[in-house]
Structure 1
Amino acid sequence: MNQTPEYPQMNLEFAPLFTPWKIGKLEIKNRIVLTSMGGTNLLGWMEKNHFDETGARFIKTVADNHAGLVLPGCQAVYNPMFGQWLYKNKKMYRDLAEWMPAFHKTGAKLFVQLTAGFGRSFTITPMMETLYTNPILRVLSKPVMNLDKITASASPSPNRWSDKVPSRAMRVEEIQEMVEAFGKTALLLKEAGVDGVEIHAVHEGYLLDQFALKYINKRTDEYGGSRENRYRFAVDIVREIKRVCGEDFPVSLRYSVQSKTKGFRSGILPGEEAEEAGRDMEESRWAVRHLQEAGYDMLNCDNGTYDAWYWAHPPIYMPENCNLEDVKEIRKSVDIPVVSGGRMNPHVAAREIAQGTIDGAGFARAFLADQEWVTKIIEGREEEIRPCILCHNACFNMSKWKGTPNMQELNDSLNLSRCAVNAETMQWDKHYIQKTDRPKTVHIIGGGVAGMEAARVLKLRGHEPIIYEKTDELGGVVIPGGAEGYKKPMRDLLAWYRGEMKRLDITVNFNQDIRPDHDFGGQPVIVATGGKPLVLKNIPGFDRTIEATDFLRGHEVGDRVAIIGGSLTGCEIAYELALQGKKPFIIEMKEDLIANKGVCLANSSYLREWFALHQVPVFLESSVVEVKESTIAFKAPSGQVKEEACDSVISAVGYRPDPLMTKDQAGAQVRLIGDCEAIGTIKTAIWQAYEAAMAI
């Protein structure tokens, strides 16, 4: 291993990440940037503004672990909830000022991200549709949620999530009021000791970007038409901040290099050739020079809009460093520093910084999964970094499918930036390691992720866990779940858990088929035996199907493959088969693919659009009638029975719990967790395991 004098245990390959740089006159100690995520806010999120201790804890923990520049979650200068102007609550700035010295002791710098709002991208729920479409409720709800105001955009346009809540055009006086609010808020932040601000955003199709993008902005006044007019809102903001705070107060801009968008609710996939409806590279080269001249001191970059959400919030299907090449290209057009984000690989980031093609590397969800990952790189403990699996299950699970607006649980809407693979992140009030004063031997039946998480937490608390696994390897359903070629982050998570079992010296007994009547001598037992595939016995020929996990474990299939079930599992299998050059098609009973809660639109829209682009047949609102030797018969929405030729049929119709015993049989000393208790996600498995281990 190569080493650096300052960090003798660190691989020298990472050294460029730990060189200083400047934003304006402000020196930043290293090139690692925590980019903003909703929910990690210092001044509250979707609630009355206040100094948020949970957000502050996350921000300071990241700073304690060697991040150079830290950006909390974005703060709306006009809060969507309760209609508050961010500059009016002076107490929270005094609270922030009292906290800043402790933050600055870490050596990191803090920029607070300020947003003009969401406009047509504001996430609409069924409840909001009711408030808006009912004239009486619309009036009554205005003091709490004035949807007419907070969804206003550059021009009348459709909402990203709902056909029932369209956006009107903002009035010029509303724009000017907001510009002044940016200046007032930035001054209060400066006086509180904050090092700079970031303006959110000519980026991702948020409100400022809606003014900049020609497919949305159809205005004929000074804020529409020419390029200069479309970018005027963003220019006015930075000039006002510089006027109020002084030229030396740094102002960054969150910026999307290209929109990667065909139009409303339609993105451009990686590798797809399509006409850009928004900002293309030619315009972007002009825009970054124009924005630099206006006064912006840094560009914090990726790609995309809410209409092409998978660029700014890359799911596992997007390539690593997916925005890097575009960011490198616009870096050539400016003299101010440029940060690149979006599935950034630290090895690649270090190389590009060393070559001078970018100035900083932005990371977001990696810090949710492991706030100590930078420290672990410095200490040469890369294998101990808990990886982000890009699932969005906990941090950002806003779902949408045909005919629905956002289908996200209210608790998830109010508590963004939690983490599926780290139960503690942003939940320290209920998920924390509490040492036991009564150590026990705890028997865990099942060595999947839920069983391993329970064992990990128990060991950290001082208990002695013992895992009983019926196969010869740990991992359970995550083994087939991470089998597809693009699923390296899932395989990394499995490797991390297996490594934790060794690092913590946890006893694992393989090839142990525990029976329900096994006597554990009254000691605590955790059952984590997972689920079993559903079998559709009422469908003739269903026994010809290949179960999804069997396929993922290596069962061979033919060239043309029918997949029964268009949920996430079925769609990911179809995606993998198509990448292999086979010819899959999907038969799904519901009105759309992945029509279920908990799967982020960034993830689901990628798959839906990819299937459309690559002409993968999808038969919706269709039910399988019979699986034959070389065809599959299904009932179409018209009621007509159709047949499609196929060489193989994969069943991805779901699972049912497979507990070793029922809850009634279990007794007080036995806890059921994960899919054996109720079919869920990796988030529910890990969080339940954590809570079960804490309860012993």
Structure 2
Amino acid sequence: MKYENLFSPIKIGNCEIKNRFAMAPMGPLGLADAEGGFNQRGIDYYTERAKGGTGLIITGVTFSDCEVETQSMPNCPNSTYNPVHFVRTSREMTERVHAYGAKMFLQMSGGFGRVTIPTNLGEFPPVAPSEIPHRWLDKMCRPLTVEEIKSIVKSFGDGAYNAKRGGFDGVEIHAVHEGYLLDQFAISMFNLRNDEYGGSLENRLRFAKEVVEEIKSRCGEDFPVALRYSVKSMIKDWREGALPGEEFEEMGRDIEEGLEAAKLLVSYGYDALDTDVGTYDAWWWNHPPMYQEKGLYREYCRMVKEVVDVPVLCAGRMDDPEMASKAIADGDCDVVSLGRPLLADPDYVNKLRAGRLDEIRPCISCQEGCMGRIQEYSMINCAVNPQAARERAMSYNPILKKKRVLVVGGGVAGCEAARVLAIRGHEAELFEKSDRLGGNLIPGGAPDFKEDDIALAHWYERQLELLGVKVNLNSEVTKDDVLKGNWDAVIIATGSQPKVFSLGDDDKVFTAADVLTGEKNPGDTTVVIGGGLVGCETALWLAQDGKKVTLVEALDALMAVNGPICHANKDMLERLVPYSGVEVITGAKVTGYSGGKLTCETPEGTKEIPCDSVILSVGYKEENSLYHELEFDIPEIYLLGDAKKVSNIMYGIWDAFEVANHI
């Protein structure tokens, strides 16, 4: 079998895991009930990933402290809030997970401290090791008292005992990682204490040491305790992270101290290190967008693995099985953790084992459905998988009568609608006017850092082929074509068109889509008009290709009207654009282009920019003319995707799933 080393067993402590895949911990927002137990969504969500073949399921963050950092409920599960209820709901979940041969660890948090996300965790004075600035709020944090630290440590023991009773095979401590509360104690930048919890590295790690000792004393030495661990912080300054390849002075934990800390933590009793790099001040490291390379933690995991004798887990865009297999073979890590890839496709592991790689739905690292929604709405979902974290509510509806359904448009909305219709047993037929499926995925996926957009288009092609959906390419549909077809229902998903306007010398004025697809050559020097997501990504791609790029935006900031974009994606892209040599001009109004010069009015006055071309990236407009021609002639007709309202990949897929699942 190919990738056989990914399917060999491994032990964490005395807990044997059937393969080398773990479900990486992701915030279980929306998966808890008001009593701190797992709700039905949470039980179904984790069980589905166990059913899909994952060897170790690690829950997202849960709490045990109910006194120092109180949470608005329901928020995340809490193992001490109502112990009887927690044990009962946990046992229901772990029994189902164990039926598939998977093991399950509860991730237990010491708290958020200075990095609490205000929309998630309610109102309370933020705490920290010392009086230091909060990450998001313009507030100073208050130092924890020694009594509060002892209280949190005791809650870990109580919570782990409840987790063991609830059927969990171990726990993972959250975290000397990403700048959470235990990490704030461990990092001298944040820890200014002069008591037994401050000063030396051993003192700064005392909190984490007492946690593992408390759990082992309550649950036994043979109860596995893993630790989420960041070997390097990537902090340039308060709220300022470093970019890949950037030279900077580390203000947080550097690699030398990180490796020394790793050895100490293992000596204290931790049975595995779930390793990455970064902090909330450098969020794009711990939550890597598509602008980070795949497998970005491998070199750091290898460093840790060379100095400890416990298993090392590695996450971070590890969805390429070739890379994962090589990482295990080369000794970079012992376990490959998949987070977002298991949101996108819970059956990833089983499909890989069966050699069905082309059937794995790719994660596109957009973070719209996961981190973006956690950040804004306190719920975890997935942009490309509408069923993630709502498996029961969004299960496929059985049909009573088969219908013939016409789908016009082969972008994500049309493809998703046809896929869902076919799975449910309807006869769907799709017409696309271009020569390939994918719609705006095609230009959007042109930059190498957006390769997974193209992978998603290929996945839809393969799905429709497997499901027997008839796909007609190079086929533009008219009103007469539709009326002659005798369809039971019609879905119009004709997408959108880039907005354009005249600047004078329009022979060298192109749309971003024209340039991204290679239909137009922008020359060596170009100006991108529009600093939204598409404009920024186009400018970055061209700059990385060696072009001289200027980015002109009418508003005072880049990506001001896109949202909610996950902070990790937005903040990294905002910094990458100027870092890659793109000149950014905001608050500017373009007035014309002639004689190879673009003229714009800026706050500093009129500016002329010499350039070989101008690229318009000023948004899209709905293409819904066919729908309006038909809306009063077809009894059952639906408008989906950008044709309904220009939005993003997530809402195109979600709306299509919703409608197609109820026809």
Q: TM-score range by the shorter chain?
A: over 0.9
Deviates more, 1:172-181 or 1:424-433: 424-433
Q: What per-residue deviation string (whole Å, max 9, x for no partner) do you get for residues 176-210 of structure 1?
A: 21111111101111122211110001111111111
The one-letter code sitting in structure 2 at the alignment partner of 1:158 is: P
Per-residue deviation at 1:578? 1.2
1:81 pairs with 72, 88, 95, which one?
72
1:145 alignment counterpart: 122
1:268 alignment counterpart: 242
Mapping 1:23-422, distance limit 5 Å: 23-39=12-28, 43-44=32-33, 47-78=34-65, 79-82=70-73, 86-89=79-82, 90-125=84-119, 145-148=122-125, 151-163=126-138, 165-344=139-318, 345-397=320-372, 408=376, 413-416=377-380, 418-422=381-385
1:136 alignment counterpart: none
1:403 alignment counterpart: none
Per-residue deviation at 1:429? 4.3
Per-residue deviation at 1:512? 2.1
1:561 pairs with 526, 534, 537, which one?
526
1:631 alignment counterpart: 597
- The answer on whether the counterparts of 1:201 and 1:254 sit within 8 Å (CA) in structure 2 is yes
Q: Measure the CA separation in 2 of the matches of 1:98 and 1:646.
A: 64
Give ranges in structure 1 of 5+ residues lacking alignment.
4-10, 129-143, 400-405
Secondary structure of 2:284's counterpart equals coil
Per-residue deviation at 1:76? 2.0
1:653 alignment counterpart: 618
Mapping 1:582-597, distance limit 5 Å: 582-595=547-560, 596-597=562-563
Secondary structure of 2:371's counterpart equals coil
2:437 alignment counterpart: 474
The one-letter code sitting in structure 2 at the alignment partner of 1:438 is: K
Per-residue deviation at 1:220? 2.2
Per-residue deviation at 1:349? 2.0
Q: What per-residue deviation string (whole Å, max 9, x for no partner) do you get for residues 382-419 of structure 1?
A: 111111010111111169xxxxxx6x3xxxx2321x11
1:487 pairs with 446, 450, 453, which one?
450
Deviates more, 1:221-230 or 1:180-189: 221-230
1:132 alignment counterpart: none
Secondary structure of 2:308's counterpart equals coil
What is the alpha-carbon root mean square deviation over aligned residues?
Answer: 2.1
Q: Measure the CA separation in 2 of the matches of 1:591 and 1:48.
A: 45
Deviates more, 1:443-452 or 1:154-163: 154-163
Q: What per-residue deviation string (whole Å, max 9, x for no partner) do you get for residues 437-456 of structure 1?
A: 21111111111121111111
Give ranges in structure 2 of 5+ residues lacking alignment.
none
The one-letter code sitting in structure 2 at the alignment partner of 1:462 is: G
- The answer on whether the counterparts of 1:323 and 1:341 sit within 8 Å (CA) in structure 2 is yes
Per-residue deviation at 1:355? 3.5
Q: What per-residue deviation string (whole Å, max 9, x for no partner) do you get for residues 273-330 of structure 1?
A: 1111111110011000110111111100111111111111111111111010011011
Q: Measure the CA separation in 1 of the matches of 2:105 and 2:624.
A: 49
Q: Measure the CA separation in 2 of the matches of 1:542 and 1:261.
A: 45
- The answer on whether the counterparts of 2:302 and 2:331 sit within 8 Å (CA) in structure 1 is no
Secondary structure of 2:513's counterpart equals helix
The one-letter code sitting in structure 1 at the alignment partner of 2:587 is: E
Q: Measure the CA separation in 2 of the matches of 1:160 and 1:587.
A: 30
Q: Measure the CA separation in 2 of the matches of 1:56 and 1:262.
A: 40
Change (3 A) 1:283 1:446: same
Q: Measure the CA separation in 2 of the matches of 1:50 and 1:22.
A: 28
1:21 alignment counterpart: 10
The one-letter code sitting in structure 2 at the alignment partner of 1:22 is: K
2:645 alignment counterpart: 678
- The answer on whether the counterparts of 1:215 and 1:263 sit within 8 Å (CA) in structure 2 is no
Secondary structure of 2:448's counterpart equals coil
Q: Measure the CA separation in 1 of the matches of 2:450 and 2:594.
A: 32
Per-residue deviation at 1:661? 3.9
Provide the TM-score with structure 2 as the length reference: 0.94
Per-residue deviation at 1:620? 1.8
2:564 pairs with 574, 585, 598, which one?
598
Per-residue deviation at 1:48? 4.3
2:510 alignment counterpart: 546
Q: Measure the CA separation in 1 of the matches of 2:30 and 2:661.
A: 28
Change (3 A) 1:440 1:216: same
Deviates more, 1:305-314 or 1:657-666: 657-666
The one-letter code sitting in structure 2 at the alignment partner of 1:455 is: A
Change (3 A) 1:252 1:444: same
- The answer on whether the counterparts of 1:40 and 1:72 sit within 8 Å (CA) in structure 2 is no
Q: What per-residue deviation string (whole Å, max 9, x for no partner) do you get for residues 500-547 of structure 1?
A: 12111111222222224541436311000001112245x555674210
Q: Measure the CA separation in 2 of the matches of 1:694 and 1:25.
A: 45
Q: Measure the CA separation in 1 of the matches of 2:28 and 2:628.
A: 36
The one-letter code sitting in structure 2 at the alignment partner of 1:20 is: P
Q: Measure the CA separation in 2 of the matches of 1:54 and 1:114.
A: 20
Q: Measure the CA separation in 1 of the matches of 2:569 and 2:95.
A: 40
Q: Measure the CA separation in 1 of the matches of 2:78 and 2:31.
A: 15
Q: Measure the CA separation in 1 of the matches of 2:569 and 2:345.
A: 22
- The answer on whether the counterparts of 1:211 and 1:231 sit within 8 Å (CA) in structure 2 is yes
Deviates more, 1:548-557 or 1:624-633: 624-633
Secondary structure of 1:309's counterpart equals helix
Q: What per-residue deviation string (whole Å, max 9, x for no partner) do you get for residues 4-35 of structure 1?
A: xxxxxxx2xx1111111111122222111111
Deviates more, 1:98-107 or 1:574-583: 98-107
Q: Measure the CA separation in 1 of the matches of 2:140 and 2:305.
A: 36
Mapping 1:609-628, distance limit 5 Å: 609-628=575-594
Deviates more, 1:428-437 or 1:582-591: 428-437
Deviates more, 1:508-517 or 1:498-507: 508-517
Provide the TM-score with structure 1 as the length reference: 0.89
Secondary structure of 1:683's counterpart equals helix
Per-residue deviation at 1:253? 0.3
**How many residues were matched structurally?**
649
Per-residue deviation at 1:551? 0.7
Secondary structure of 2:142's counterpart equals coil
2:461 pairs with 495, 498, 503, which one?
498
Per-residue deviation at 1:435? 2.4
| 1:453 equivalenced with 2:416 (yes/no) | yes
Q: What per-residue deviation string (whole Å, max 9, x for no partner) do you get for residues 99-119 of structure 1?
A: 433322221111100112222
Change (3 A) 1:153 1:629: farther
1:138 alignment counterpart: none
The one-letter code sitting in structure 2 at the alignment partner of 1:615 is: G
Q: Measure the CA separation in 2 of the matches of 1:325 and 1:582.
A: 31
Deviates more, 1:518-527 or 1:357-366: 518-527
Q: Measure the CA separation in 2 of the matches of 1:521 and 1:105.
A: 48
Deviates more, 1:380-389 or 1:642-651: 642-651
Secondary structure of 1:33's counterpart equals strand
Change (3 A) 1:637 1:48: farther
Q: Measure the CA separation in 2 of the matches of 1:257 and 1:583.
A: 37
Q: Measure the CA separation in 2 of the matches of 1:687 and 1:598.
A: 16
Change (3 A) 1:285 1:626: same
| 1:607 equivalenced with 2:573 (yes/no) | yes
1:576 alignment counterpart: 541
Secondary structure of 1:301's counterpart equals strand
Deviates more, 1:506-515 or 1:563-572: 506-515
Deviates more, 1:227-236 or 1:109-118: 227-236
Secondary structure of 1:455's counterpart equals helix
